[in-house]
Structure 1
Amino acid sequence: MAMEEVAGIVAELRKKLIYIVALFGFGTIVSFSFMGELIKRIEYDMFWRISLSDKPDAAGQLVNISNNLSFISEKLAANSSVIAQNLTLMSGELLNISRNLNLQTPAIVYLSPMEVLMLEFKLSLICGVIITLPLVIYYIYKGIRRKLLQVLPVSVGMLLFIFLAALILFLLGAGYSYYFLLPVFLTYIYQDAASMGVNATFSVYEFIYFIVITTVIFGISFDLPLLLIMMSRLGIATRQTLAHYRRHAYVIMLIIAAWVTPDPTMLSQIMLMVPFVILYEISLLVMRVTGK
């Protein structure tokens, strides 16, 4: 691409910069007010599966004992106020202990004074970028569409189809990760720890960061078939080459899965590798059927 064309693209973006900044600022400010609800929603979506039905309900038992002590103290109040007062104090202490013994869901905590505020701010920035991205893509396409249509042997309708297909595949991958893989994975590791009497406490920043990064990686990985088919059609790689190096691709994806979800049981890596292998093989099958 010539420098004149690059300069034209920059000039076009510069003209529209005020619209981009305004939309980004608006999206960031509006989304910031919803970040607290978003964080609570993520916590619920990740932990609603958790159940420790095989463990005794220690908190519930303490509440029952506390209620019984309160009943006894009321009966004794007329004859022995000192005993009744002590029983009431014991009842209150048991209620406090029962709250601290709640092992039904992991605790999400913040470890620094500004952690929650910074998390909400960063999430709102991400939402602002997502809201602004379609406008930026439109301006970029508007600036390079003539050259793009000369380089790529596809129509405008095909480009729109590719964009929509990439978006749908990304949402499928993100949904698979967010609504299935992550809840199953977190429930498994939590119940494994709870069986040893260990309760989970997560930093809210690290927890949300892990959820977001894993969801995005899975979303991108589901765009693999589209990427491979495009590479084949553009002559970057043939089906034979992709088939020959499939094992190398699997190893690379396994390394990425181990980095994103460091799970010594290999459960999360397997849950990532299975759809990846299926999508890779589907891509090769589509290329064989289409003759590419």
Structure 2
Amino acid sequence: MGLEDFSRIIAELRKKLIYIAAVFGIVSIMSFPYMGEVIKKIENDLYYSQINDLNLSSGTNASRQLVDISHNLSLISNDVASSAITQNLTKISSELLNISHNLNSQGPKIVTLTPLEGLMIQFKMSLMFGAIVASLLVIYYAYRGFKGRLPSAVSVNKSLIIIAVLISIILFLLGAAYSYFYMLPFFLKYTLEDTIINLEANPNYSLYEFISFVVMTMVILGFSFELPLVMTILVRFGITSRKTLAHYRKHAYIILLIVAAWVTPDPTMFSQIMVMLPFVILYEASLLGMKMMGK
């Protein structure tokens, strides 16, 4: 395929730009009202659940002691005959519950630092969702443009493209799910515990920064899980071979370790291994799959 054919494909994509922009805008607008619920779920799953598991919120122990004292006073007031003493004990019990509530409210929490921070992160996430859906349309138009212009030596059919796209989506979702359900909870629990115990600080995170960090980590891991598909495409188009990839696997592991060190939020070797391990499994699984297919 020459430069002229490639220019024609770009020109065709430009003609379809209005459709791509329309899909992007419509999906972004329609998804915006739901972003608040998505953000709250991320907060509960990855922040507040970790705080509750650690049981290290500021004032938590004192708060529970006050609740116990309040409960005991209520029991005593039921046994006291004097109405005046009973009323005083009830008031004291109520005040202790209020103090307990105030202590709990002073614990770690997600905060907004600017008036528009909450609105901006919802807007950003809705735009990202719109971009993901619009990118599928870009892939479709690109496929239509490349179809029939590839050299005859390269056999590409419609079913193969569809399978590759589906595999790409599945691998991306697997990477994002691994990040959300396994890697991020472990990392955030570690950082929260370190902040509260070792630094004796209250980890009040910015809503915008926290959600952006979570989303970007999921995106990075999602794209990282595309490794088997990338390796398969490279071998299929003759850019490399399975023997070459197998021979240089040690070099590949070093590169994967560097990538793991870059994407992990803490410097511990265990966390890097936790990120690198899926890469190694995917790499070896790709080599095994190519061997079984005779590539």
TM-score by length of 1: 0.84
Mark the CA change 1:192 to 1:87 in structure 2 (over 3 Å): closer, same or farther: same
Deviations 1:183-233 (A, max 9, x none): 233223334544455542212122112211211222222221221122122
Instruction: Tell me the residue number matched to 2:261.
Output: 258
The alignment status of 1:138 with 2:140, answered yes or no, reads: yes
Once residues 164 and 80 of structure 1 are traced to their aligned partners in structure 2, the CA distance between those partners, rounded to angstroms, is 70
Mark the CA change 1:52 to 1:115 in structure 2 (over 3 Å): closer, same or farther: same
Equivalent in 272, 276, 279 of residue 273 of structure 1 = 276
Task: Give the Å deviation of 1:90.
Answer: 5.1
Once residues 77 and 95 of structure 1 are traced to their aligned partners in structure 2, the CA distance between those partners, rounded to angstroms, is 26
Q: Gaps spanning 5+ residues in structure 2: where? A: none
State, as a whole percentage, how many aligned pairs show the same letter. 49
The alignment status of 1:231 with 2:254, answered yes or no, reads: no
- State how 1:9-48 maps to structure 2 within 5 Å: 9-47=9-47, 48=49
Instruction: Tell me the residue number matched to 1:172.
Output: 174
More displaced 10-residue stretch of structure 1: 167-176 or 43-52 = 43-52
Task: Give the Å deviation of 1:273.
Answer: 0.8
Q: What amino acid is aligned across from residue 123 of structure 1 in structure 2? A: M
Once residues 131 and 208 of structure 1 are traced to their aligned partners in structure 2, the CA distance between those partners, rounded to angstroms, is 20
Q: What amino acid is aligned across from residue 58 of structure 1 in structure 2? A: A
Equivalent in 100, 105, 108 of residue 100 of structure 1 = 105
Mark the CA change 1:45 to 1:150 in structure 2 (over 3 Å): closer, same or farther: farther
Instruction: Tell me the residue number matched to 2:6.
Output: 6
Task: Give the Å deviation of 1:277.
Answer: 0.8
Once residues 262 and 52 of structure 1 are traced to their aligned partners in structure 2, the CA distance between those partners, rounded to angstroms, is 19
Mark the CA change 1:146 to 1:195 in structure 2 (over 3 Å): closer, same or farther: same
Task: Give the Å deviation of 1:71.
Answer: 8.4
Q: What amino acid is aligned across from residue 5 of structure 2 in structure 1? A: E
Q: Gaps spanning 5+ residues in structure 1: where? A: none
Instruction: Tell me the residue number matched to 1:162.
Output: 164
Q: What amino acid is aligned across from residue 262 of structure 2 in structure 1? A: W
Deviations 1:219-270 (A, max 9, x none): 2222212211221222111223212322222222222222221312223211
Once residues 91 and 168 of structure 1 are traced to their aligned partners in structure 2, the CA distance between those partners, rounded to angstroms, is 53
Once residues 88 and 53 of structure 1 are traced to their aligned partners in structure 2, the CA distance between those partners, rounded to angstroms, is 24
The answer as to whether partners of 1:73 and 1:88 remain within 8 angstroms in 2 is: no
Q: What amino acid is aligned across from residue 8 of structure 2 in structure 1? A: G
The alignment status of 1:58 with 2:62, answered yes or no, reads: yes
Q: What amino acid is aligned across from residue 45 of structure 2 in structure 1? A: D
Once residues 290 and 85 of structure 2 are traced to their aligned partners in structure 1, the CA distance between those partners, rounded to angstroms, is 89
SS in 2 for 1:213: helix
Deviations 1:159-203 (A, max 9, x none): 211111121122112111111221233223334544455542212
Once residues 219 and 59 of structure 1 are traced to their aligned partners in structure 2, the CA distance between those partners, rounded to angstroms, is 41
The answer as to whether partners of 1:23 and 1:132 remain within 8 angstroms in 2 is: yes
Deviations 1:113-150 (A, max 9, x none): 22222111111110111121222221221122111374
SS in 2 for 1:148: coil
The alignment status of 1:122 with 2:124, answered yes or no, reads: yes
Mark the CA change 1:241 to 1:61 in structure 2 (over 3 Å): closer, same or farther: same
Task: Give the Å deviation of 1:73.
Answer: 9.5
How many residue pairs get matched?
288
Q: What amino acid is aligned across from residue 38 of structure 1 in structure 2? A: V
The answer as to whether partners of 1:108 and 1:201 remain within 8 angstroms in 2 is: yes
Q: What amino acid is aligned across from residue 186 of structure 1 in structure 2? A: L
The alignment status of 1:286 with 2:289, answered yes or no, reads: yes
The answer as to whether partners of 1:69 and 1:91 remain within 8 angstroms in 2 is: no
SS in 1 for 2:205: strand
Q: What amino acid is aligned across from residue 278 of structure 1 in structure 2? A: I
The alignment status of 1:242 with 2:245, answered yes or no, reads: yes
The answer as to whether partners of 1:109 and 1:203 remain within 8 angstroms in 2 is: yes
SS in 1 for 2:148: helix
